[in-house]
Structure 1
Amino acid sequence: MKSFRSLELVQKARSFVRMTPVLLLVASGSAVAAQSSGPSELKAVKRLDAGQWEFRESGTTGGAVRKLCLPDTRKLIRIQHPTGRCSYLVLANEADQATVEYSCSGSGNGRTTITVETPRRIEVATQGLADGLPFHTEFDGRRTGSCSAGERR
C-alpha cells in the first residue's frame, strides 16, 4: 500500500515539473510581448481569446491545474523560452493549428504546435532544448474568464 502512495506522489511531482514552463510564462510579464512574443500572423493563435486560462497536463484527470493570465496568446509559442530574442520558422499556419520552430540566442530552441478546438479550448505540444536540456510537454488549456486587474500587463 505504501508503494502506491509513493507512486502517486511521484506522479504528482512529475506533473508539477512538466507544468513549470507554464509557470515561467506568468513570470515573464509584458516585457516578453515587447520583445517579440512570436509570429504575429498565426491564424490559429489569432483565434484565441486573451484572458484567464487553466492548463492541465494532457491525458490526466486529477493532475495539477495551473491558472494563467494571457493578455497575449502568442506567448504560448515559446513557453520554455519566455525571455530573450528568438527567430521563428512557421511550419503550419491553418485556422485550427499552428506549428512553429524557434531558436533563441544562447538559451535553446523548440517546436510548438497549438491546436485550437475553440477560441477557448486548445491543445499545446512543445519540445526542444532549454539551457542544454531536452524538454517535451503536452497540455490542454481552456479559457475561464477575464484576467483580474492585478494580473493584466
Structure 2
Amino acid sequence: MSSRLISARGLVRAIGLSALAGGAFLATSGVAQGPALAMLDRLEPGLWEVRARDEADTVQVCVDNGRKLIQVRHRGEACRRFVIEDAPTMVTVQYTCPAGGYGHTRVRFENPRLAQLETQGIDKGLPFNFIAEARRLGPCPR
C-alpha cells in the first residue's frame, strides 16, 4: 500500500513539474510578441483634454505616455492592471486600486492626437460610467 502512495505522490509531483514548465514556456513565449499595450505608445505626449460626451465637464491631463488615459478617474493611484484586449487600434484594461476603487477602460486609437475612451467602475465609493473623447491640446505647461 505504501508503494502505491509513493507512486501516487510521484505522479502528482511529475504533473506539478510539467505544469510549472508549461507555465514558464507560456510566460517566456509572450515576451516575443512585443510590448504590452503598444497602441498607447503611439499617442503623442502632452496636454490632453478628456471630454465626456454626456457631460459638459472636461478634465485636462498631462500625458507622458498613453497609459495615463487608462485611469482617468484614478489618476496618480498605483493600481493593479489586467489587460483584457491588446490590439493595434484598441486596448481594454481592468484595474483595481488599493484604496478600494476599480475600473474597466477601453481606449480606441483614432490618430496620435485623438482617442476614444469608454470607462466605468467605482471611485470614492460611487459608480461612474462615461464615454469620452481624448484630444491632445499641445505641450504640457511647465
Name the TM tier (shorter chain).
0.5 to 0.7
Residues 79-118 of structure 1 aligned to structure 2 (within 5 Å): 79-118=72-111
- Number of the residue aligned with 2:120: 127
- Alignment partners' CA distance in 2, 1:51 and 1:139: 18
User: For each residue in 1:53-99, what CA deviation from the matched residue of structure 2 results, as whole angstroms up to 9, or x when unmatched?
Assistant: 22222267xx4544432223211111222233321110100111000
Change in 2 beyond 3 A, CA 1:104/1:44: same
Whether the aligned pair in 2 keeps the contact of 1:81 and 1:107 (CA below 8 Å) is no
Q: TM-score, normalised by structure 1?
A: 0.62
- Following superposition, the deviation at residue 42 of structure 1 comes to 0.5
Residues 21-32 of structure 1 aligned to structure 2 (within 5 Å): none
> Percent sequence identity over matched residues?
33
Equivalent in 46, 54, 65 of residue 49 of structure 2: 54
Change in 2 beyond 3 A, CA 1:129/1:59: closer
Work out the number of aligned pairs and report it.
108
Whether the aligned pair in 2 keeps the contact of 1:115 and 1:123 (CA below 8 Å) is yes
User: For each residue in 1:92-151, what CA deviation from the matched residue of structure 2 results, as whole angstroms up to 9, or x when unmatched?
Assistant: 001110000011113311100000111111111110112221111211011122223x1x
Q: TM-score, normalised by structure 2?
A: 0.67
What is the CA RMSD across the aligned residues, in angstroms? 2.0
1:128 partner SS: strand
Note the residue ranges of structure 1 that are not aligned, 5 or more in a row.
Answer: 1-39
Whether the aligned pair in 1 keeps the contact of 2:73 and 2:123 (CA below 8 Å) is yes
Whether the aligned pair in 1 keeps the contact of 2:41 and 2:65 (CA below 8 Å) is no
Note the residue ranges of structure 2 that are not aligned, 5 or more in a row.
Answer: 1-34
Greater than 4 Å deviation, 4+ residue runs: none
The question of 1:140 aligning with 2:133 is answered: yes
- Alignment partners' CA distance in 1, 2:87 and 2:95: 18
Whether the aligned pair in 1 keeps the contact of 2:40 and 2:65 (CA below 8 Å) is no
1:84 partner SS: coil
Q: Which protein has the larger Cα radius of gyration, Structure 1 or Structure 2? A: 2
Q: State the one-letter code of the partner of 1:92.
A: E
